[in-house]
Structure 1
Amino acid sequence: MAENENGTERSEEATPDKIRKSKEKGQVARSKELATASVLISAAFALLVFGDRLAYELSVMMKYSFTFERSVLFSPEYLWIHLTTSFKGLAMPMFIILFMLFVISILGSSLLGGMIFSTKSMMPKWSRLSPKAGLKRMLGMQAWVELLKSILKVLVVIGVAWTILAMTFEQILNLSMTPLPGSVFEALDMITWMFILLCCSLLVIVAVDVPYQIHKHSQELKMTKQEVKDEYRNSEGKPEVKQRIRQLQYEASQRKMMGDVPDADVIVTNPTHYSVAIKYEQDGERAPYIVAKGVDFMALKIREVAREYEIPVMEAPPLCRAIYHTTEIGDEVPEELFIAIAQVLAYIYQLDQFRKGKSGRPKPLPNDLKIPKGFQYND
């Protein structure tokens, strides 16, 4: 496993934030062999496509260059005209090939790691001037890997070149017997295919180098457990700070909830553990909904506010538990509990009318309010 300079083991995979920061610095997996092979193979196929045109223009240029009158040799003005005319036909195919290679060189470099523009990677690093660091790079694992790749590259290219020459030796000798311009076309065609095969041999090196570069970059980005913890704290915040924020948010929500209790029409209680504040707007479109609820101490505080604002408090343990466990603040009462809630609200309305002297004393609220089985809680 990778280690830091202080010997700490880097056993953890890089986090997304670490990968993002490394990309911002221009630190991504790169393969020089892939970029080189892309350019060379593209150049070979460009010659295959435009080779005939180049051979033709080259033969025209040679014929034009070696066909002139004796008087031309003594004319300095004609020298420049002759030179530009000679290369005029080669300009377009050469421009197309060079432009294509320019594009491929950029794309080939970004095939692994993507295209990244980073000014940080261009900044000077004084640590690179350290003789100790330079000696470490020269004798490090990366230097040995590059040496092995170079040896492998030479052996592969030499092996492929030797094989090609052995197979085409007689054809090469026969070129001297072929008249112009046929020999030029044949020679260019032969050179192009030799070049293609030699370039394709580099794919063996690429197949080895690309996985190695990905693995190497992954190892370089690995983090220690402490680094992962520090990054989590920096990105997510310290646990004690987050806990304090959650506590403040909870206290703020509780204060808001307690501020809505005076607007309730009735408080349904357990009576000791739970309290639920319910509001019903007779002229509105909403069913009865929850404005506050609480357990233990918060339930007691709800009942204290209710007594302060003279809000009716009804003891209905099964109904209170059912509402508490199946709703959140702001939710409407479930349809399954509408009958029980209607009985409570009707009793509250009749009780209010009795207190105002407009009707007789209402019958006590029945103790056995019907609660569906799916809404029965015994805690």
Structure 2
Amino acid sequence: GWLFSAQALAPNFGRMNLFSGLLKIVSLNALVELGKAVAKAVIVGSIAYLVMRSEIDEVLGLMVEPAEAGSMHMAKLLFSTYMLIVMGLVLIAAVDAPYQMWSYAKKMMMTRQEVRQEAKESEGNPEIKAKIRAQQREMARRRMMSEVPTADVVVTNPTHYAVALKYTDGKMGAPQVVAKGADAVAARIRELAAANNVPLLEAPPLARALFKHVELGDAIPETLYTAVAEVLAYVFQLKAYKSQGGDRPEKPQDIDVPAGLDPLEGS
């Protein structure tokens, strides 16, 4: 049912604090500027009142003075009033100057903090950057794996390395490496190749040379043309055999690579 509480109806003067609420709405600078404006108005008004009160007889006497003497007298009164107002404003400026210096220093400090914060944000949190790099590597790996089914052949080590090659006559100047990997990635490349009927060929020196010296998406160097041509010749003969029949081509054995390209050479 309904529950009434007298405590909720009691006045809460903390919630009714007009000054604290005003401070939340109006900034400190705005309050200072408002105070300066009020002080200026009070000083100007007070000076005008005091001058009129002390010089009332002279002001009234201006009406009966000759024009030239009255003008001089009026100028003197105005000048003295002006000087008093200037002195009052100088006093306000003397009080305001330290505050303005403090406010400027505070703003500069905040600006430096904002610059540091912006630099920190632009550089990024190391953990976030690491996650982004990991995501980028994963996306690149997935794109690479999607190219395996389109490859003409996968050259293997046979277990440590796997390099997928593709060559389209008339569109490519030389065969390209569309995927490559070591260990677990190499195993995944072999699995995808087998699942998509991409020929697998064991040629350890060539696989190591391709993995070491050819970046993903790049064409093979001229120094490996002969070795890769031997591999592709077998692949194309194998495709012809599967589609047309005839004698099954023999796998090339002991495919050599030029000296210095096999990372294990001489080890």
Pairing 1:313–2:200 present: yes
Q: CA deviation at 1:294?
A: 0.9
Deviations 1:111-154 (A, max 9, x none): xxxxxxxxxxxxxxx894289x69xxxxxxxxxxxxxxxxxxxx
1:346 to 229, 233, 239: 233
Q: CA deviation at 1:350?
A: 1.8
Matched, 1:324 2:207: no
Q: Which residue of 1 aligns with 2:243?
A: 356
Q: Which has the higher contact order (CA 8 A, sep 6+)?
A: 1
Query: Separation in 1 of the partners of 2:184 and 2:97?
Result: 63
Do residues 301 (structure 1) and 164 (structure 2) align?
A: no
Partner of 1:129: 99
- Per the alignment, residue 120 of structure 2 pairs with 233
Post-superposition CA distance 1:239-266 (Å, at most 9, x none): 0111111111111111111111111000
How many angstroms apart in 1 are the aligned matches of 2:170 and 2:246?
23
Name the residue aligned to 2:263.
Answer: 377
Name the CA shift for 1:364/1:227 in 2 (closer, same or farther; >3 Å). Answer: same
Quote the Cα distance in structure 1 between the aligned partners of 2:128 and 2:251.
51
1:305, CA displacement in angstroms? 0.6
Partners of 2:98 and 2:137 in 1: how far apart? 53
Contact kept, 8 Å, 1:350 with 1:359, in 2: the verdict is: no
- The equivalent residue for 2:25 is none
When residues 235 and 263 of structure 1 are mapped into structure 2, their CA distance, relative to the original with a 3 A threshold, is same
Residue segments in structure 1 that go unaligned for 5+ positions in a row: 1-125, 135-219
Distance 1:227 1:375, change over 3 A: farther
Q: How much does 1:234 deviate?
A: 2.3
Task: Report the equivalent of 2:9.
Answer: none
- How big is the shift at 1:352? 2.2
Q: Distance in 2 between matches of 1:241 and 1:329?
A: 26
> What secondary structure is seen at the aligned counterpart in 2 of 1:294?
strand
Find out whether 1:243 has 2:130 as its counterpart.
yes
**If you compute each CA radius of gyration, which structure gives the higher value, 1 or 2?**
2
Give aligned-pair identity as a percent. Answer: 43
**Native 8 Å contact 1:275 1:295 kept in 2:** yes
> In the alignment, what sits opposite 2:13?
none
Aligned partner of residue 278 in structure 1, secondary structure: strand
| Residues 1:229 and 1:364: Cα distance change in structure 2 (over 3 Å) | same
* Superposition CA RMSD, Å: 3.1
Evaluate the alpha carbon distance shift between residue 299 and residue 242 of structure 1 in structure 2; reply closer, same or farther with a 3 A threshold: same
Kindly provide the amino acid, as one letter, of the partner of residue 236 in structure 1.
Answer: E
- Matched residue type, 2:99: L
Shift of the 229–317 alpha-carbon distance from structure 1 to 2, 3 Å rule, reads farther
Letter paired with 1:370: D
3-state DSSP class of the match of 2:260?
helix
Distance 1:337 1:129, change over 3 A: same
Query: Which whole-Å CA distance do the structure 2 matches of 1:279 and 1:261 have between them?
Result: 9
The CA deviation at 1:337 is 0.4
Identify which of 233, 250, 254 aligns with 2:141: 254
Assess, with a 3 A threshold, how the Cα gap between structure 1 residues 130 and 265 changes in structure 2: closer, same or farther: closer
Taking a change above 3 Å as real, the CA distance of residues 339 and 231 of structure 1, as seen in their structure-2 partners, is: same
The secondary structure found in structure 2 opposite 1:261 is: helix
- Match in the other structure for 2:161: 274
The whole-number CA distance in structure 1 between the counterparts of 2:169 and 2:132 is 39
Question: Residue 225 of structure 2: SS of its match in structure 1?
Answer: helix
Q: CA deviation at 1:229?
A: 7.9
